[in-house]
Amino acid sequence: MNIIIVGAGEIGRHLATELSREAHSIAVIERNPRLVAELEASIDAKVICADGSSVQALAQANIGECELFLALTSENTVNLMSASMAKAMGVAKVIGRVHPGLQREEWLFDFRGHFGLDHMFSSERLTAIELAKSIRNPESLAVEELARGKIEVQQVRISQDSEVAGESLRTMKWPERTRVAAITREGESFVPDAETTLTAGDIVTIFGEPRRLGTLAERLQKGGRNRDSHRIVIFGGGEYGFALAQMLESWDCRVRIFEKDVKLCQMLTERLSETTVINADATVVAELEEEQVGEADFFVATSDSDEDNVMTCLQAHNIGAKNCLTIIHRADYAHAISASGRHFGIVAAVSPREATRGDIERFLTTEPYHVAARLSAGEVIETEIATESKAAGNKVAEVAWPAGCVLVGLVRGLQAIVPGPDDVLHAGDRIFAMVGPKVRKKFLKFVL
């Protein structure tokens, strides 16, 4: 695949290195001469010393042959402008990295539509999502975000004492805009119908708005007992810690953040209504003991220092914290911590570079769709409804969807919902569908 990357910082360089090893044709545009020289000496790629929003630089990178354009600098302006130019020049798939603050404003203004981006992300939020998966679902079943974080998919195991075991889907009272898309029972997955009866041990794949999905997950798992009353302590109130706390608040976890910067504490207090902000240095054991961190279910280190993150996790574990998670900024260190960290109480180590790579790899295809998530029950496909498709202009219930396919997400402009039977599909809508094995081609015939 012909790929152009703008920006050779930590994220850009890591992706350029990994993608070049996979036989992709890579061109990198970077305006810092030192970074250009380092990259030229380390990978087999065309490296251009220029501004990524320069038309001349884009032409030199063979923009006319580009199939995937990645704007990965640390500047919103450069990324949005260069990505918009690439789309206008005919690139099929364009992805832009932005700061978390801009992404949080995405529901006030359609940045993607305005600049022509196919995907927009912040590495900080992607990292927080990976951390949240281990907290929300300690059983290591899938937790994914769709539709800019407005729709979540989660796999939940029905417990032996669940109040819904033995109940049919028809008789259950479902939260609005939630959907059961698949059930895995004794190793076999299937799309249920209204008469399907839930059984203890079933792994149920559910979709919905995060807060509503939490309510549904409680019913499926523990007979109404609040499984999300985890006591969570976060070390570091920067963008990583802030993004994680926001996600956990929507699941009613009891969250505390340690941050030693007073001004940052004030900002966190203003923006996080359900989180306790502690102005203290979490690298000091006495501070952890004073705040009874040893009683925490999860301790999560999110600072910019790998050393501080690992050491605070060890300290938290030593005083009793049940599970410790950490961000490791060096990808090679993250692999080492993941392999041996459990001996020291660290159950997960997340690399921002690897989180970004995993997100972008979904787009390494020339097909008019991509796989948004892979689950044991099948794939979640994201695509756009074509003007001449069989689905355009019809209600969801009026489309003869193939067996083994469930529509689980609909994005139109700034709106994202789990569609109901009476919602009308329009050309240009982006949709998400859960499709079982061998169903993908049949599903795509209805929407493309």
Domain boundaries, the chain: 2-121, 126-222, 253-356, 360-447
Total-model pTM: 0.85
Question: Predicted confidence band at 220 (pLDDT cuts at 50, 70, 90)?
Answer: confident
Question: Predicted confidence band at 226 (pLDDT cuts at 50, 70, 90)?
Answer: very low
Q: Which residues contact 152 (CB under 8 A, 6 or more apart)?
A: 143, 144, 145, 146, 207, 208, 209, 210, 213
Task: Say whether domain 2-121 belongs to CATH 3.40.50.720.
Answer: yes
> What is the helix (H) or strand (E) element at residue 368, kind and residue range?
none
Supply the DSSP string of 198-211, one letter for each residue.
P-TT-EEEEEE-HH
Residue ranges of E strands in 249-332: 254-258, 275-278, 298-301, 323-327
Are 2-121 and 253-356 equal in CATH topology?
yes
CB 349 within 8 A of CB 341: yes
Signed CA dihedral, 6, 12, 17, 19: sign only: negative
Q: How many CB atoms lie within 10 A of CB 193?
A: 9
Secondary-structure class of domain 360-447 per CATH: alpha beta
Question: Predicted confidence band at 192 (pLDDT cuts at 50, 70, 90)?
Answer: confident
Q: What is the pLDDT of residues 91-119, one digit of tens each?
A: 999 999 999 999 888 878 989 989 999 99
What is the token pair recorded at 283?
């690298």
Question: Predicted confidence band at 142 (pLDDT cuts at 50, 70, 90)?
Answer: low
Q: What is the pLDDT of residues 260-277, one digit of tens each?
A: 999 999 999 999 999 999
What pLDDT is recorded for position 366?
84
H helix runs in 45-137, sequence order: 55-60, 76-88, 100-104, 111-115, 123-136
What pLDDT is recorded for position 42?
94
What 3-state class would DSSP assign to 38? Answer: helix
Q: Which CATH number fits domain 253-356: 3.40.50.1470, 1.10.3720.10, 3.40.50.720, 3.40.800.10?
A: 3.40.50.720
What pLDDT is recorded for position 223?
55
- The answer to whether residue 256 scores a pLDDT higher than 90 is yes
What is the token pair recorded at 217?
């997950």
Look up the CATH architecture of domain 126-222: 2-Layer Sandwich (3.30)
* Average pLDDT of the chain to the nearest whole number: 90
Q: What is the pLDDT of residues 372-428, one digit of tens each?
A: 888 877 889 999 999 999 999 999 999 999 888 899 999 998 888 999 999 999 999
Instruction: Name the DSSP letter for residue 277.
Output: E
